[in-house]
């Protein structure tokens, strides 16, 4: 947290691929930003309102070693609001985080707050979930908000339709997302960063579970010649196999020399399968939310720490972990804390899961570099999702 941002004046958002897996589409790279370099594949903890829930920036940086985190345009716009963020000098300074930040555009809230919004060509009108007030998000406005937040990577405004949407709706929705994408790119080109560091804009590929729509969308996104691309609208109700198939379809079209970000995914197994199919960046609420609800991810599978069987397990949560919390506390203690609704339990569980997720992608990267990613993945993937 004390290092100065490294400026790369020559090539903004340079993405270098250091290793490509000989047996799959997996690759290990580095994405350079003005707030530091991001090794890929990478997992990005979700910090919706300027906080990765229950985790201090200190642990995020030193124990978990998160290289980049997420913020959310919709949530930050409603609270604390743009006035505060501008006066603070952007989100990095406001929250005391000097590494990169990616902001989601609010497109996911178009999906998750479906009862409180109305979609039109111009944009999307929301009723605030906090006070019921009305707000309109347009593609241009969403870029402006992300300029004010000062995120290193901004996301285009999209519509994220449900996984089981019928073809006609999926097509109309995708076409709207494309028009919004065009407008975001226009606004991006005609505006400047506010705080002295550069910002990228990632377009988002949509198209639901329909391969022809996904191809069309990937081609539209690729035509923007962006610093990176996102795959959205997956893990929203469709079967996992369909998700993997859509990733393959899209990554066959997206430029290989730019990072690909699979939005909102997922389980440890999902992440390894997507890495194998050429995805570089991930985010998901699972490690933090499920952690708060008593679920731990480990190399041996998932643990429900609330279960009685952990009552007297006095083993450290993970003696080999980079996180102090993992090394210092036992399953039995965490069981007690979570059962007692102690806030420390939420913190330890969240730190544990995020440390595991970062360890997962770090280990995957190492195996890509060593050239045995697919056999390693094959030997481990089933174990990750079984119950301990």
Partner RNA sequence: GGGGAAGUCGCAUAGUGGCAAUUGCAACAGACUGUAAAUCUGUCCUCUUCGGAGUUCAGUGGUUCGAGUCCACUCUUCCCCA
Under rule CB under 7 A, which residues in 21-80 are in contact with RNA?
A: 46, 48, 52-53, 70, 72, 75
The 3 state secondary structure assigned to 184-209 is: HHHHHHHCCCCCCCCCEEECEECCCC
Out of 15, 77, 108, 126, name the contact with RNA by CB under 7 A. 108
249 touches RNA (CB under 7 A): no
346 binds RNA (CB under 7 A): yes
CA distance 59 to 321: 13
The Cα 260–Cα 100 span in angstroms is 16
Q: Is 218 in the site for RNA (CB under 7 A)?
A: no
Count of residues near RNA by CB under 7 A: 56
CA atoms within 13 A on the CB side of 335: 18
Mapping DSSP to helix (H, G, I), strand (E, B) and coil, where does residue 304 land? strand
104 is catalytic: yes
3-state helix, strand, coil in the chain (%, to 5): 45, 20, 40
d(CA 284, CA 163): 17
**Which of 105, 146, 321, 347 forms a contact with RNA (CB under 7 A)?**
105
Please tell me whether residue 199 binds RNA under the rule CB under 7 A.
Answer: no
339 binds RNA (CB under 7 A): yes
Choosing from 34, 283, 326, 359, the catalytic residue is 283
Instruction: Give the DSSP per-residue string, 108-167.
Output: HHHHHTGGGEEE-SS-EEEE-TTT--EEEE-HHHHHHHHHHHT-SEEE-------TT--H
Q: In angstroms, what is the minimal distance from the CB of 333 to RNA?
A: 15
Nearer to RNA, 24 or 240 (CB): 240
- Please report whether residue 254 would count as binding RNA according to CB under 7 A: no
| Contact pick of 140, 152, 158, 280 for RNA (by CB under 7 A) | 158
Six-digit token string for 94 = 């406001």
Nearer to RNA, 228 or 266 (CB): 266
- The DSSP call for residue 94 is H
Measured from the CB atom, is 148 or 267 closer to RNA? 267
82 backbone dihedrals φ, ψ, rounded to 5°: -70, -30
109 near RNA, judged by CB under 7 A: yes
Alpha carbon dihedral 333, 329, 297, 338, in 10-degree steps, equals 30
Among 217, 290, 318, 355, binds RNA (CB under 7 A): 290
- Per CB under 7 A, does 204 bind RNA? yes
- Helix, strand or coil, per DSSP, at residue 233: coil
In the complex, minimum distance from the CB of residue 8 to RNA, in angstroms, rounded to a whole number: 25
Q: How would you classify residue 65: left for phi > 0, otherwise alpha for psi between -120 and 50, otherwise beta?
A: left
Q: Which residues bind RNA (CB under 7 A)?
A: 46, 48, 52-53, 70, 72, 75, 104-105, 107-109, 111-113, 115-116, 129, 155, 158, 160, 204, 230, 232-233, 235-236, 240, 263-267, 270, 283-286, 288-290, 292-295, 304, 306-309, 311, 339, 341, 343, 346, 387
Q: Return the active site residues.
A: 104, 283
């Amino acid at each position: 947290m004390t290092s100065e941002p490294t400026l790369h004046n020559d090539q903004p958002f340079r993405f270098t691929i250091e290793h490509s897996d000989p047996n799959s589409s997996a690759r290990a790279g580095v994405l350079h930003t003005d707030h530091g370099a991001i090794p890929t594949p990478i997992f990005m903890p979700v910090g919706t309102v300027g906080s990765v829930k229950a985790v201090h920036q200190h642990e995020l940086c030193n124990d978990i070693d998160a290289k980049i985190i997420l913020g959310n345009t919709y949530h930050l716009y409603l609270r604390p609001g743009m006035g505060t963020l501008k006066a603070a000098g952007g989100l990095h300074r406001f929250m005391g985080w000097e590494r990169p930040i990616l902001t989601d555009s609010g497109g996911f809230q178009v999906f998750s707050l479906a009862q409180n919004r109305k979609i039109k060509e111009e944009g999307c009108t929301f009723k605030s979930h906090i006070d019921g007030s009305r707000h309109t998000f347009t593609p241009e406005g969403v870029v402006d908000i992300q300029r004010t937040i000062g995120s290193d990577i901004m996301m285009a405004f999209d519509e994220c339709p449900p996984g089981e949407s019928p073809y006609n709706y999926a097509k109309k929705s995708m076409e709207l997302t494309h028009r919004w994408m065009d407008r975001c790119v226009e606004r991006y080109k005609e505006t400047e960063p506010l705080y002295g560091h550069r910002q990228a804009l990632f377009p988002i590929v949509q198209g639901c579970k329909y391969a022809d729509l996904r191809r069309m969308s990937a081609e539209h996104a690729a035509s923007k010649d962006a610093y990176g691309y996102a795959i959205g609208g997956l893990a929203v109700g469709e079967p996992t196999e369909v998700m993997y198939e859509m990733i393959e379809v899209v990554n066959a079209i997206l430029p290989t020399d730019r990072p690909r970000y699979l939005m909102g995914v997922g389980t440890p197994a999902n992440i390894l399968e997507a890495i194998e199919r050429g995805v570089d960046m991930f985010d998901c609420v699972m490690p933090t939310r499920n952690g708060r609800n008593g679920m731990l991810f480990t190399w041996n599978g998932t643990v429900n720490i609330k279960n009685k069987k952990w009552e007297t397990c006095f083993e450290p949560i993970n003696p080999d972990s980079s996180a102090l919390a993992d090394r210092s506390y036992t399953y039995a203690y965490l069981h007690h804390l979570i059962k007692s609704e102690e806030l420390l339990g939420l913190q330890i569980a969240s730190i544990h899961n995020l440390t595991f997720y970062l360890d997962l992608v770090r280990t995957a990267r190492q195996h890509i570099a060593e050239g045995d990613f697919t056999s390693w993945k094959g030997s481990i993937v089933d174990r990750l999702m079984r119950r301990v």
